Chain A
């Protein structure tokens, strides 16, 4: 099947891509654009490792064809930073709470939770676990991730601002 030329906007920059229509957005981001922070785990929408933002909404990049994302704003883990260019509050909290071990699932979790905390700045533990159910982590047992999200949410609301 012939390759098709199209343009993707990733993290505010336009990229010209030449790829077959069957190329998944997750593969285009990694192979054609060279941003390898978006991880590819199950490739059928279960594990959440490839989650990116499309027009601000967290979506599975392995369940979207790259060609479908023309004209939309794609945001990947590489674009998640704090105001000073360092860690975002969520990344800092994951660091402090040991919310990652091997780190494979982490980009998907960070991208998902950054979007979720904008939608719901004061989530209950149940809310956090509900959203986190879409991201499989085989290392942590989730306790430390939940604690980190709670801590990040408190800090983003202006509470508990002391950074370890």
Chain B
């Protein structure tokens, strides 16, 4: 239960971190909060030869608003995001989801950039990135930046679009509209465990009380979170009421192709999806302008 030996590098700038990654290639691993990585190293599931600590890089932990976007730096920790007045105002579902990650002490150190790069299929940030069409900003070896859509960034279990020589620097989320309802719902056997199934939803209504935009994503049904695009599009123009919620939840039951695993079988996941979508839409409706 002790990690294998490694060489430690304390990067003080993005340029230094990129140079170290270029130098050490596949042998190197970045560490931010380390709340998954160090556990994996202790269990020797990960044995990087070089550990590049990016915590000393100034300016990577900011949370700021840029017009209709919310910019969250890669090193912002879950507790700071959960407790941020700015996040609660601009995109409150993110603060709520951040408050569900792991346990209190884990949230003080774990970061959004680390969680996205790790891409656990049952983690909150990949679900939020896919739900909200987040733009993931990445620093390349040349120093140039590129931007990837959340759904393209998260590719599979523990697999992302991030190259071994790149650093995730920032995530751009859209702000929710005034009066747009939202809800995050998840189920785990114990508080703080990785969820079995989770749902994110936002719901905007037009002046007549009809759905003008629904975002709906499910985690735990496939190897990545899935966006229920067809259901979202069919919902536009509908009048949201109890029957409507029942209809959407029934459709969500059939979403994706969940597999049986040691935590839950496929049928149980489908049942959870149905129940959690029902709860999420009721809460989102309640929070929307109509509620």
A positions within 8 Å CB-CB of B: 1, 4, 20-22, 24, 27, 43-45, 48, 51, 54, 57-60, 62-65, 67-68, 112, 116, 129-131, 133-134
CA–CA, A112 and B1, complex, Å: 24
For this complex, 20 residue pairs linking A to B, each with C-beta atoms less than 8 Å apart, are A1-B7, A22-B2, A22-B4, A22-B41, A24-B42, A43-B1, A44-B1, A44-B43, A45-B106, A59-B105, A62-B42, A63-B35, A63-B39, A63-B42, A68-B34, A131-B104, A133-B190, A133-B191, A134-B106, A134-B192
Tell me whether B287 is interfacial, beta carbon within 8 Å.
no
How many A-B Cβ pairs are below 8 Å?
Answer: 88
**Within the complex, which residue of A20, A44, A59, A133 is in contact with B109, where a contact is CB–CB below 8 Å?**
A59
B105 touches A51 (CB 8 A): yes
Are B104 and A20 neighbours in the complex by a CB distance under 8 Å? Answer: no
B51's nearest neighbour on chain A, judged by CB, is: A21
Residues A22 and B104 in contact, CB atoms below 8 Å apart: no
Residue contact B6 to A1, C-beta cutoff 8 Å:
yes
| A133 proximity list for chain B (CB < 8 A) | 103, 190-192
- State in angstroms the CA–CA spacing of A107 and B41 once bound together: 25
Q: Which residues of A contact B51 (CB under 8 A)?
A: 21, 65
Secondary structure class of chain B's binding surface, majority of residues: loop
What's the interface size class on B, roughly?
A: 20 to 34
A116 touches B104 (CB 8 A): yes
- On B, residues with C-beta under 8 Å from A are 1-8, 31, 34-35, 38-39, 41-43, 51, 53, 55, 79, 102-106, 108-109, 190-192
Classify the interface of chain A: helix, strand, loop or mixed: mixed
Q: Which 5 A-B pairs have the closest CB atoms?
A: A134-B103, A1-B5, A21-B8, A133-B191, A44-B39
The smallest beta-carbon distance between A110 and chain B, in angstroms, is: 13
Knowing A44-B42, A65-B38, A68-B53 are in contact, say whether A58-B6 is a contact too (CB < 8 A).
Answer: no
